[in-house]
Amino acid sequence: MNVDHFSSRLPFACHLEHDSKSAAHLELWNHPELDSAIVILLNRNLGGAIITDRHIHQGSTMHSGTLEHMCVNPDGPLCYCGNRGCLETYCSADALEQASGMPIPDFFHSLREISRHTADTDTDEKKSSQISQIWEDYLNHLAFAMKNLNLIIDAR
């Protein structure tokens, strides 16, 4: 679909935008005092946008803020972009599903169950340990990325 096809069905001027940049526009709309920020979308696929001086940074080819393809481990898993170790391969819903071998609702259900009680068998204990480790790795990679991204924009 292109923008002409889309706008032909609406009585308003339209333009298509990347979902993470749309989220950044919403943040600027809701928080006009916002000067600099990095917007991170934790969706099926990771996404991001950069706000500086109250504007969304677009870059020369409109690809600025694609933090999902920031390399956090050159020897890491293969990403759909063709590179290895992108943040996407550690901090997306797809990454959690791939690491756990279960759909996201099941993964979080298991994680909640682990926090509620201890495992009854060795198999349960091993599975619980794996799920906990996957979640801990997810959070550690996300925190690592957020710390580095904050160094770039120096936001409070």
Quote the least distance from Cβ 80 to Zn ion, whole Å. 6
Q: Residue 27 has which token pair?
A: 């943040």
Q: Is 3 among the residues that bind Zn ion (CB under 5 A)?
A: no
Restricted to residues 82-111, the positions that interact with Zn ion (CB under 5 A) are 83, 86
3-state secondary structure of 118: coil
Taking the C-alpha atoms of residue 17 and residue 45, their distance in angstroms, rounded to an integer, is: 16
Q: Which is nearer to Zn ion, 89 or 110 (CB)?
A: 89
Q: Which is nearer to Zn ion, 46 or 131 (CB)?
A: 46
Rg (CA), the chain: 19
Quote the least distance from Cβ 88 to Zn ion, whole Å. 5
Q: Which is nearer to Zn ion, 41 or 79 (CB)?
A: 79
Name the DSSP letter for residue 38: E
Q: Is 141 among the residues that bind Zn ion (CB under 5 A)?
A: no
Sign of the dihedral through C-alpha 78, 58, 21, 14? negative
Site string for Zn ion, 64-83 (x = CB under 5 A): -----x---------x-x-x
Q: Is 46 among the residues that bind Zn ion (CB under 5 A)?
A: no
In 10 A of CB 135, how many CB atoms?
Answer: 18
Q: Residue 147 has which token pair?
A: 């710390």
List residues near Zn ion by CB under 5 A: 69, 79, 81, 83, 86
